[in-house]
Amino acid sequence: MSEKEAELTPSPAMVAKYSVVRALAVLGDTWTLLIVLSAFRGTSRFTDWQSELDIPKAVLANRLDRLVEVRVFTRRPSQAGGKRMEYFLDEAGLDLWEPLVAMLRWSRQWYGPEGHESLHFHHEGCGADSDLVLSCYTCAGPLTPFNTFAEPGPGEGLEARVEPHSRRRANSAIRHGEEAFGSSEALTFFGDMWAPAIVATALRGGRRFNDLVSYLRIPPLVLSMRLKELLAMGVISRRTIEDSERYEAFHLTRKGLDLFPYVAMIAKWGDKWCDDASGVPLVFHHKDCGHEYTPVFRCSACGGRIHRADVKFLTGQP
C-alpha cells in the first residue's frame, strides 16, 4: 500500500476498553448463545447441533471455529473414529455458567408463569430450593446497582471496535427463544451485542443519547433502534429533563435494574478471558464493605457459595 493510500484508508473506530463489550463480542449472538447452552446440556457433535437447532451448516461451522479460537470450546477427534471432530466446553466455556445462569434467572422471573414468586434453582449443598443472590466474594453481602460503583482500572484506554454479527442472519434463531429462555424477546436481547452493552452503560450512569453514542461508538441509527426495543420491553423508560438545556434521558426500570447480576457476571467473565494483559479496564467496589469486589452467587436458603456443579434447575426449567 502506498503512503497516499494509507492516508486515505479509514482507521478502525476506537472505543473505551470495556470487558462487557469484549465478552459480548463472543456471546452476543443468538446462534452462539444457543450453541453454548446446548453444549452445557451435553451436545458435542456437529450433526447433533444441526439437527437440534436446524442451523445452517456454514453458520454452525463459523460459530464453532470462533468458539474454539476464543477457548470456549476445545476440539477433539471423535471417539467413533474417522475424521469427525467433537467439541467440548473448555475452561473459558465452563466459566460461562455464571452469566448463563443469570440470563436464565432473569428470563424466568420476567417471562415465566410464576415470575418473581418462584424459586428456580435447587442447591445440592444444602438440599433446598432457592434463589441465587449476587454477593461480594470478600464480605458475602449482597451486591446491587445502588451499593456498588466502578472506577478506571490499570487496563483503561482505547481499543479497536469489534463489529457485531449481523442480526438479520440470526433472525431464524429467534424461534428457539421460548424453549431456551421462555421468551423470544429474552433471546433477542441476550443474543445481541448492543442491547446488553446499552444496559451495562446505563447501570454506570450513561443515560443520554449522545453519551451512549460517544462511549460505545454505536451508530446512531442502531442506537435509536435498540432504545426503541428496550422501551418496548420495559427495560428502560424515557424522561425529559429540564436543566441548563432540555434533553431526553433513559433510565432503567425495575426490569432493567434486575439485569445487574447478568452484567456483573458477563463483566467478570470478560475480565478473566478477554484480558489483553494490561489489566482490567474497570475496578468495581462494594460500598458496604469498602473493598474491590468479585461477584459470586450465594444460596438464598443457606447463604453458602454456589458452584457450577452443585446448582440445578428445578423441574420444568431448561
pLDDT of res. 318: 40
pLDDT of res. 7: 29
In a domain, 203, yes or no: yes
Query: What's the burial of 96, exposed, middle or buried (CB within 10 Å: 0-12/13-18/19+)?
Result: buried
Residues with Cβ within 8 Å of 185's Cβ and at least 6 positions away in sequence, in order, are 111, 177, 233
Q: Is the pLDDT of residue 260 over 60?
A: yes
Least confident range of 40-44, 88-92, 242-246: 242-246
Which DSSP helix (H) or strand (E) runs through 283? strand 282-286
- Please, which pLDDT band fits residue 116 given cuts at 50, 70 and 90? low
Is residue 169 helix, strand or coil?
helix
Residue 277 gets which letter from DSSP? S
Q: Is the pLDDT of residue 86 over 50?
A: yes
State the chain's mean pLDDT as an integer: 89
pLDDT of res. 222: 93
Count of structural domains within the chain = 1
- Please, which pLDDT band fits residue 9 given cuts at 50, 70 and 90? very low
pLDDT of res. 246: 83
Q: Is the pLDDT of residue 317 over 70?
A: no
In a domain, 265, yes or no: no
Sign of CA dihedral 224, 228, 229, 231: positive
Calculate the CA dihedral of residues 296, 301, 304, 309 and round it to 10 degrees.
Answer: -70
In a domain, 269, yes or no: no
Q: Is the pLDDT of residue 11 over 50?
A: no
pLDDT of res. 169: 58
Cβ atoms of 130 and 299 closer than 8 Å: yes
Amino acid symbol at 258: D
Q: Report the distance separating Cα 304 and Cα 318, nearest Å.
A: 24
In a domain, 49, yes or no: yes
Q: Is the pLDDT of residue 154 over 50?
A: yes
Give the CA distances from residue 153 to residues 136, 157, 287, in Å, rounded to whole numbers and listed in that order. 19, 9, 17
- Please, which pLDDT band fits residue 168 given cuts at 50, 70 and 90? low
For residues 219-238, average pLDDT: 96
In a domain, 41, yes or no: yes
CATH number at residue 74: 1.10.10.10
Is residue 209 helix, strand or coil?
helix
In a domain, 59, yes or no: yes
Is residue 19 helix, strand or coil?
helix
In a domain, 86, yes or no: yes
Q: Report the distance separating Cα 103 and Cα 293, nearest Å.
A: 21
In a domain, 170, yes or no: yes
Q: Is the pLDDT of residue 5 over 50?
A: no
For residues 75-104, average pLDDT: 91
pLDDT of res. 167: 65
Please state whether 225 falls in left (phi above 0), alpha (psi between -120 and 50) or beta: alpha
State pLDDT tens for residues 181-228.
989 999 999 999 999 999 999 999 999 999 999 888 888 999 999 999
Q: Report the distance separating Cα 74 and Cα 76, nearest Å.
A: 7
Q: Which domain holds residue 158?
A: 14-257
